[in-house]
Structures are given as structure tokens and as C-alpha cells.
Amino acid sequence: MVLLIVFGIDGIRSRRDLEEKDALLVDAQEAFVAKSQFMSVINHELRTPLASVKGAVSLINAGAVGEVPEGFRKMLDLAERNCDTLVSLVNDLLDAEKLDAGKMDFDFVKMELEGFIKDEIARHQPYADALGVNIEEARVDAGLAVEVDRKRLGQILSNLLSNAAKFSHSGGVIRVGAEKRDGQAVISVQDFGVGIPEEAQSKLFDRFYQVDSSSEREKGGTGLGLSIVNSIVAAHGGRIWVDSIEGKGSTFYVGLPLVP
């Protein structure tokens, strides 16, 4: 009798559990579809017009319609910078969506890191200059060959270098290197800026995480960059990690498999 009651109650409980699980599954599917539709709207209705606004502002700024009075130039510069911020936010959102859905395409090619590091330093120096920061080449071992999507590895460096510049003090230095370690190629980006509190370091690669997420924070950003970098590094069979001391600076490391 007691057993019957127990089985009976269990039967009801498991049926209810199943119904609840079904309902949750339907909710999750609907949320997934809604998210895909939202991302499609972002892609078509936001990215395309944004690109044309940015194009028009850049053309006017470059003098395509004649001399721009000084007062207007400041406004146009601001508009262009804000367009860039929006474009990179939209691109980050779309990249995050692609990575979540396993739909990011990678064009893997064999490449040596020596030239790549030099190119990336030159590409990012103007951005660092604007913040009064200098990018230096640290130790770069010769002959480090990796199989990577060059554009995506450039995106990783862009993220790490722009963070390093953003969180450095004016007059500071960033050091970029690449060494062979434990059979891996390890790229390092070191800054001597504000550093990262120990309790925050394990959360840095979570989506939307920012150490200072208050609305009064000085630096812009969304907390998406490092989570995207983390997924792209993983797609290369690599690993990213950080060493940091608050108040002294941070070093981000990207370890990639070496190829013969």
C-alpha cells in the first residue's frame, strides 16, 4: 500500500516534470528563433545604413565636397568616431552570434608569426599614439609557424592591443612578443597600466563582463571583446590566459599549436 502511494506520487511527479521540461524546451526554441531574427535585423537594418552614414561622413571629412569649416570638422570627427564605435559593436554582436551558432568560417593558412607581429604593431601604433602609448616589439622567436585565419588572429591582436592601450597610463609602453614554450607558440601582449583585480581575472573571458561596469566608468566598451577572442582562440585549438597585478599592469597570453 505504502509502495503504491509512493509509485503513484512518483508517477504524477515525473509526468509533471516531463510537461515542465517540454514547456522549457519550447521556450528555449522560441527564444533561439527570436534571437536569430533579432540578429538578422541587426545585420540588415542596422549594419547597412550605418555603413552608408559612415561612408558619407568620411567622404565629407576627407574634403570630397569642398573645404569643411573648422567648427564642422570637430562635429564630423565626433560623428565618424561614434560611427566606428557602433560599427564595431554591431560586428561584435554578429561575431558572438556566429560563434554561439558554430557558424563562423575560418580560412586557415600556415603563417610565420615574426612578420605578423611587426605588421600588427605598425597597424595599431596610430591608435596607441592617440592615447599617448608606444607599442614595442619584445622577444620574437624566429621560425614560429602556426596554422591560423590571419584576419581572425589580427582581430585577436586588435582586441588585446586596444585594451592594453585603453588601460595604460599616458606615456606608457606596450610590449608584444612571440616565443616557443612547451611546444606551443605563445603570443604575449604586456601593458604597465591599471591591472586587473585577482577576483576579476577568472571572469574576464565571460560574455559582457567588465571589471568596472558602472555607468560612470571612464573607458567605453561592452565586455564582449575578450569572450569573442576566447572563442576564436579555442577554434584555433589554442588557449588564452592572463597574468595581472592590480596597479602594475597585465600580460595576456595566446598559446597556439605549432606546425612543422
Q: Which long-range contacts (CB under 8 A, 24 or more apart) does 100-107 make?
A: 101/36, 104/232, 104/235, 106/149, 106/152, 106/235, 106/236, 107/149, 107/150, 107/151
CA 130-134-135 angle, 5° bins = 115
Taking the least distance from each CB to ligand ADP, the nearer of 225 and 238 is 225
- The three-class DSSP label of residue 34 is helix
Give the contact letters, 216-235, x = binds to ligand ADP (CB under 6 A), - = no.
Answer: -----xxxxxxx--------
Q: Which stretch binds ligand ADP (CB under 6 A): 42-50, 81-89, 133-141, 205-213?
A: 205-213
Q: How far is the CB of 215 from ligand ADP (least distance, A)?
A: 13
> Among 143, 247, 135, which residue's Cα sits nearest to residue 189?
135
Region of 55-63, 119-127, 145-153, 203-211 interacting with ligand ADP (CB under 6 A): 203-211
Say whether residue 163 binds ligand ADP (CB under 6 A).
yes
**Alpha-carbon span 156 to 231, nearest angstrom:** 10
Q: Quick one: 137 or 141, whose CB is closer to ligand ADP?
A: 137
Tell me the window of 5-13, 46-54, 150-158, 210-218 that interacts with ligand ADP (CB under 6 A). Answer: 210-218
DSSP state of 258: B
* Shorter beta-carbon distance to ligand ADP: residue 56 or 173: 173
Greatest Cα pair distance in the chain: 94
Q: Which residues contact 60 (CB under 8 A, 6 or more apart)?
A: 68, 76
Which listed residue (204, 232, 233, 240) binds ligand ADP by CB under 6 A?
204
Give the residue, chosen from 95, 156, 167, 177, that forms a contact with ligand ADP under the rule CB under 6 A.
167
CB distance 122 to 233 below 8 Å: no
Binding site for ligand ADP (CB under 6 A): 159, 163-164, 167, 191, 193-194, 196, 204, 209-212, 221-227, 250
